[in-house]
Amino acid sequence: MLLAACGGAPAGANATPGVIFQDDFSQTTSGWDRHTGSDLTTDYVDGHYLVAVTDPGVDVWARPGLSLTDVTFSADTQYAAGPVNNEYGLICRYERAGDGRNSFYFFFVSSDGYYALGKVVRDARTILSPAEGSFQPTGALNLAPDAVNSLTATCAGAHFALAINGTLVGEFDDDELARGDVGVIAGTYDEGGVQITFDNVLVKSP
């Protein structure tokens, strides 16, 4: 699977205790990337943030421009268009090497009811949860076409976990990546055209 990054500008501090960053995408100047092209879109749309992937076999992500270690990161997500055999979710500890290769931890779900957690290190992906090393079904996702699913990723020290709509679905331990940005991500498999919207992003100290 190809990887495509869209980075944002550094975001300002938040005055609420424990909250590092939050965004309801009501303002288009909050620091996320704005790109619209024939291959992908990452932009503010109608009070949400849209990640659209036109081509098959591509992951696209966007970031607010932070450098963090331990966080709890949540967002409301909604399927908008395209094949339900997709992947989307949250990332943490994103870093881009000088040679352009990307590293991050990922927390994926799909619009047909699957999940997988793991890491990308210099563009090489490893699924670390479930133990089978592949996407597995979960009943925690609401699969109605207009459903909003809340995802919460915990990145605390060497421990990582994903909760879907308040239900813990997977966790793993790993210490390879220590610091980096958070972000939202969506991807395609054999068929392109996936569109996922994100809202109510909240990044807190765990």
12 band by pLDDT with thresholds 50, 70 and 90: very low
Average pLDDT over residues 79-103: 96
Quote the pLDDT of residue 148: 98
pLDDT at residue 158 tops 70: yes
Query: What's residue 32's pLDDT?
Result: 94
Cis amide bond preceding 83, omega within 30: no
- CA proximity to 156, closest of 181, 175, 183, 184: 175
Please give the pLDDT value at position 5.
58
Mean pLDDT of 179-186: 97
Q: Burial level of 131, CB count in 10 A (0-12/13-18/19+)? A: exposed
178 Cβ contact list (under 8 Å, min separation 6)? 69, 93
Q: What pLDDT was estimated at residue 2?
A: 58
Flag whether pLDDT at 172 surpasses 80.
Answer: yes
For residues 45-65, give the mean pLDDT: 96
pLDDT computed for residue 21 by the predictor: 94
Mean pLDDT of 23-43: 94
| pLDDT band at 4; cut points 50, 70, 90 | low
CATH architecture for residues 2-204 = Sandwich (2.60)
* Structural domain spans, the chain: 2-204
Of 137, 160, 41, 44, whose CA–CA distance to 91 is shortest?
160
Q: Model-level pTM greater than 0.85?
A: yes
Task: For the chain, state the CA radius of gyration.
Answer: 15
Contact 94, 183 (CB under 8 A): yes
- pLDDT, mean of residues 114-125: 97
Q: What is the per-residue pLDDT for 7?
A: 53
CA dihedral (41, 144, 113, 82) positive or negative: negative
Q: What is the pLDDT of residue 15?
A: 57
Q: What percent of the chain has pLDDT over 70?
A: 93
Confidence of residue 145 (pLDDT cuts 50, 70, 90): confident
Output the pLDDT for position 10. Answer: 43
User: What pLDDT shows up at residue 16?
Assistant: 73
168, pLDDT greater than 60 = yes
**pLDDT value, residue 6:** 62
Q: What is the mean pLDDT of residues 39-68?
A: 96
